[in-house]
Amino acid sequence: MSDAIQGAFHTGDYRNLFKELGYSTLEINSKLEQSWNELFYGDADVRIYYPLGDDKGYLLDTGNLDVRSEGMSYGMMMAVQMNKKEEFDRLWNYAKTFMQHKEGRYKHYFAWHCKPDGTRISQGPAPDGEEFFAMALIFASKRWGDGPEPFDYSEQAKTILRACVHQGENGEGDPMWDPATKLIKFIPESPFSDPSYHLPHFYDLFALHADEQDRPFWREAAEASRAYLQTACHPVTGLSPEYANYDGTPAVPQPHGDFRHFFSDAYRVAANIGLDYEWFRMDPWQVEQSNRIQAFFRDIDVSDYRRYTIDGKPFEEPSLHPIGLLATNAMASLAADGPDAAHFVHLFWNTPLRTGVRRYYDNCLYFFTLLALSGNYRIY
């Protein structure tokens, strides 16, 4: 493989798509810093981060008024990418203190949502939190070095990853990855997956930093996830379901809803594929896939985004998170080489952060896209 087609993991070079399209370094850096300040310290109708006491903080799901392992781990990833150690440590201390189980079937996993004061609402975990916690902690260790417990970041990450693979081997609990297929589960007890949880670019890095005995597993998991995404994404529209079986087919409706369609969770798939391509460039299919999903949305106004069947039929139901969907469509430009890539980058640049009740999920995806398209979503 020549340097010309290697990803940033090999070259250390991260594309700045904003700069490629004519925005100045000053404009780009200003937009990034301003967005961070708005999300973490801005006005009441835009911020999503809140300090708690002297040494903790949390990201609030403003639509549900709870604190989620998803958002906490996202906030940590934002903080380590922005070199904001105080906010990172506050978020991690909250998650470690209130959310991480110390015993039982979920030992070392994180309760998926809590009240802002740390009281658990549900005990069960959601694996997208664990993988983001582990990756953010590994990056923190590389960027800032390990400190005293619980800020011994690399050891904390290994503990999480060990549980994800081995939980249940002694009879209690379940692993977060299906041992047979090496695919991440929707929850540890489920016999199906969530395509938006698949982060092969994280697993390739886990294969360098996890316990040595588990490194082959993570290499296999990365390969399995890249193959899985090809089965979960529709070959014409590029759309994927929110939940899918291990063969990629949409999962049957669940007691808590019908997740066979392209809706909120599924938005993240395009962004994850774009970042995997930027970091590792292992799969040429990711270029075609990114072109497909951008072509599907090219002539749909953001205000008219809806729920869709994966073959592209719209429902009357509007998107709950249209800014988040725009952001992930734009992040697909990291892999796309079609005529729509520049369009989505410009459209994203000219779209502000979302305000109001539903802002949390949109603005998490928005900030990750801002990092990625500016060349600042990096491997440490």
Whether 70 and 111 have beta carbons less than 8 Å apart is answered as no
Cα–chain center distance at 113: 17
**Distance set, CA 55 to CA 52, 111, 137, 231, 296 (Å):** 7, 20, 17, 44, 45
Structure tokens, 34: 């301003």
Nearest residue to 242 via CA among 198, 293, 300: 198
User: If you compute the radius of gyration of the chain from its CA atoms, what whole number of angstroms results?
Assistant: 19
- At 53, phi and psi to the nearest 5? 65, -155
CB contact at 8 A, 166 and 173: no
In the 8-state DSSP scheme, what is residue 52?
Answer: E
Query: In this structure, are strands 120-122 and 113-114 parallel, antiparallel, or unpaired?
Result: antiparallel
Catalytic residue annotation: 70, 265
CA distance 115 to 111: 11
Complete DSSP assignment for 155-169: HHHHHHHHHHHHTTT
